Structure 1
């Protein structure tokens, strides 16, 4: 398996809790690969709103769309999310799911439009405020399997780490040594009394969300050219609890459990500009550009290892061994990539429209930094692991008197440069709506799916063919992720 499988490894097992729980390229991708969001109307036609305008989602996608508003508007959305992950390792499959209620969107647009008989090239403008959830971290991953005879165990991973860098403080190798999972002789560190096969399992529970507040203004020039700009303020909270366990990994050990917990909180800022050109009533062309988002993040983290023996691991030692790291905290910065969007919308009179967007984002441009560390190796790995990707969104709306029918499709490109498994994300969407003079109600369903690869530890650092660990295989978990989101938006015009 290529190196990318190791790059998705859990943070706690990357060798050391120094430099704040080992921030790396995994964090860069987690906070860079966002989904489309907005009102149920926009979600219903696949999020393709760059050229459309006139919808509250324009505040987030292309602020120039505010120039098409003729009345003020307030919207509130509510949703329920269903997430399911089917995982497989060493031929054994397992499934886990998680559901959550949420408020994914809130918007307020205040429009100041000139009367049609008033003179002037600038026909008016609108100021908008929006809150959008752009990343949902609520999911549960579970897998289990039995390692083959040549499969690496946690103890062997800790031993190779100890031989490579020593018993560094607050590291997996220190935990393993203090709980007698590994030992030392004249040849170095090793994991004693290993069993032939090794049943293991892991549960990873993550929660939280990445949200963005946008403060935007858009204006209309002769109702042909629309321009806008916005200031985006992001907030994020990501909580991660991981429990990895092995049963009878050695002849004198009944079981072991590694538990780590991470809480990341922070905020960020970005700027966005956009334009929409309407050459005729039937066609609109749009473009928006968002700067990189500059985040300041804070990690709080801890790791513990419990090893239960069937006989004393050492004279006078307890059968139940436990060791944990110091509680840690680390502040650092993360810059996620810029985004460029282009789109077109074609209208069929008052019968409806079709709209399409394409978005460019280069995930390899994400960057970590801190006051006391420049993350040179991690940033180089980010550049070598990820690539640029194109995200496509396509949708349409049919208008049937006061009713609306919508459908859409989106394809978000694979961010990995060398991937044996396609990790692109696809979306299928649909929606309905009711429009009245002073209010409207929209509902949408968004189904998405993608593949992912994960490894709890790796022997990637073993370069010596004579090493006892060189030919060991490591668990590689392949997962099929499916997510279904139901969304309802209530809106009022005034």
Structure 2
């Protein structure tokens, strides 16, 4: 075995490459993340949430008009302020499985957050003829909060299999009897520093692949993981609407979008029989660490997004009790600042531990990156039918996700943009009903559907094909407390299926077959609860 010695020149080159060339390894520049950043709730505001957002595109006097069709502001007869608080309760039920029909284990992760839902001011200009209305508003347009936990026994693979450097990814030299090993890729470098993989000089001298992983092939381990997603997207809008003909409104909104997305992935691998990998040990100075017990891995990134777009709309009474609306929304041009840590690793042995990444100077796996995201155009149309005491509404939205683009000054996103072109267009739809009684009580319900943009894009561990479509169900109620003040409450549930792979299925150096990795199937249910007020004057 060799002692640990590193070439300062190569390490400096390595660190410069990470800071200057970090885009090549930063975690969030993927097609899935671009799609995630661009997805939004079907509804904002309390009344609209109770109807899953239906009604807004057709045009109505509601704060959510800023988000769906600003032409609807023209139907306001008075000025108004409104606001709401929003709570999100998320449950992620996971199934850990390696082989189809193989042993499986289930876990449940719960997450709860509370935030400001919306805050809007509407000003109805006193005009001699027609309608002129301006609005200023804040809306929370999406939330990423959810937590996945999983666990299971595995003797088929380990994340340490993916840490092994290939032949062109390390260099071995000798200086006055001291063997120097330089490992170039970020994660293998961190793993080598933390003792999750080790160089064995005896193997190198015998012309064998010189690295071994802490978890030997076929060794039984317990895997326990947590994947945490957090943050939200928000929209600050300035909008206006004008009546250009009797009961014909046009409107527009200028929107600043901003928010944060946080992703953290943690995995602990524990030997079911500590010390069973007797052939593995790590030399650290004059110490010999042996008797592998466990390994902890963590990766994390935070993306801060700021963007701008325009939303234009038309709404008109097409017939008695029937209203039609159209909305066109430009792409949102986002600037994204990302900080990331590709790997923190700690390896526990029977007589000590070794870690890399917890010291401020151990920054090889940390970096920052800036890039741009352009979302697709959105086209919507809606219709509503009003016949007291009912309002019935529906709308559809067309989005071609293949038009999404990523760009950066330092890096060409050719591969990612080609992957985005594999996405397809979708037609989102939503429908809702509102009942309004004479005593001021309103009852609402709705449904919305967001198809997966990649169609049948993954296979569950049991062999079933599915996609990442999202179904929303909602209900709500409102009560008129006085001529000017009303209170509203709404519930909207989101249901979806997802899948997570803790690590890639690689073919380790010297092996001929890729490893079998665990598949974590997810059933996600997120319940959003909003409570708000409206005050007119």
Displacement of 1:470 after TM fit? 2.2
* SS in structure 2 of the partner of residue 67 of structure 1: helix
- Alignment match of 2:59 (pick from 52, 56, 60): 52
Asked if 1:28 corresponds to 2:41, the answer is no
CA gap 1:229/1:485 in 2 versus in 1, 3 angstroms: same
CA gap 1:392/1:181 in 2 versus in 1, 3 angstroms: same
Displacement of 1:277 after TM fit? 2.1
CA gap 1:29/1:164 in 2 versus in 1, 3 angstroms: farther
Displacement of 1:40 after TM fit? 0.9
Point out the structure with max Rg over C-alpha.
2
Displacement of 1:163 after TM fit? 4.9
In structure 2, the partner of 1:200 is: 223
* SS in structure 2 of the partner of residue 104 of structure 1: strand
Number of aligned positions between the proteins: 458
CA gap 1:236/1:187 in 2 versus in 1, 3 angstroms: farther
TM-score after normalising by structure 2: 0.81
CA distance in 1, matches of 2:89, 2:510: 46
User: What runs of 5+ residues in structure 2 fail to find an aligned partner?
Assistant: 1-20, 98-103, 171-181, 278-290, 358-362, 458-464
In structure 2, the partner of 1:452 is: 498
CA distance in 1, matches of 2:183, 2:521: 31
In structure 1, the partner of 2:115 is: 102
C-alpha offsets along residues 363-402 of structure 1, whole Å, 9 cap, x if unaligned?
A: 2322211111121112212222x32222111001011111
In structure 2, the partner of 1:341 is: 380
- Alignment match of 1:431 (pick from 467, 476, 484): 476
In structure 2, the partner of 1:4 is: none
Query: Structure 2 matches for 1:160-309, cutoff 5 A?
Result: 162-163=166-167, 169=184, 171-184=186-199, 185=204, 186-188=207-209, 189-191=211-213, 193-248=216-271, 251=277, 252-302=291-341, 303-309=343-349
C-alpha offsets along residues 238-271 of structure 1, whole Å, 9 cap, x if unaligned?
A: 2223211111187242000012232221200111
CA gap 1:170/1:329 in 2 versus in 1, 3 angstroms: farther
In structure 2, the partner of 1:39 is: 45
* SS in structure 2 of the partner of residue 64 of structure 1: helix
Displacement of 1:234 after TM fit? 0.5
CA distance in 1, matches of 2:237, 2:354: 51
In structure 2, the partner of 1:394 is: 431
Equivalent pair of 1:20/1:331 in contact (CA under 8 Å): no
CA distance in 2, matches of 1:165, 1:393: 52
C-alpha offsets along residues 308-344 of structure 1, whole Å, 9 cap, x if unaligned?
A: 1236xxxxxxx31111243311111111222111111
CA distance in 2, matches of 1:417, 1:445: 28
TM-score after normalising by structure 1: 0.87
Structure 1 residues 282-291 or 332-341, which shifts more? Answer: 332-341
CA gap 1:492/1:129 in 2 versus in 1, 3 angstroms: same
CA gap 1:128/1:162 in 2 versus in 1, 3 angstroms: farther
Displacement of 1:442 after TM fit? 1.0
CA distance in 2, matches of 1:262, 1:68: 44
CA distance in 1, matches of 2:300, 2:147: 14
In structure 2, the partner of 1:322 is: 355
- Alignment match of 1:158 (pick from 147, 159, 163): 163
CA distance in 1, matches of 2:377, 2:60: 21
CA distance in 1, matches of 2:230, 2:151: 21
Aligned CA-pair RMSD:
2.2
In structure 2, the partner of 1:13 is: none
* SS in structure 2 of the partner of residue 374 of structure 1: coil
In structure 1, the partner of 2:407 is: 369
CA gap 1:38/1:175 in 2 versus in 1, 3 angstroms: same
CA gap 1:233/1:202 in 2 versus in 1, 3 angstroms: same
CA distance in 2, matches of 1:449, 1:163: 45
Equivalent pair of 2:59/2:71 in contact (CA under 8 Å): no
In structure 1, the partner of 2:513 is: 470
Query: Structure 2 matches for 1:62-81, cutoff 5 A?
Result: 62-81=69-88
Displacement of 1:68 after TM fit? 1.1
In structure 1, the partner of 2:13 is: none
User: What runs of 5+ residues in structure 1 fail to find an aligned partner?
Assistant: 1-15, 312-318
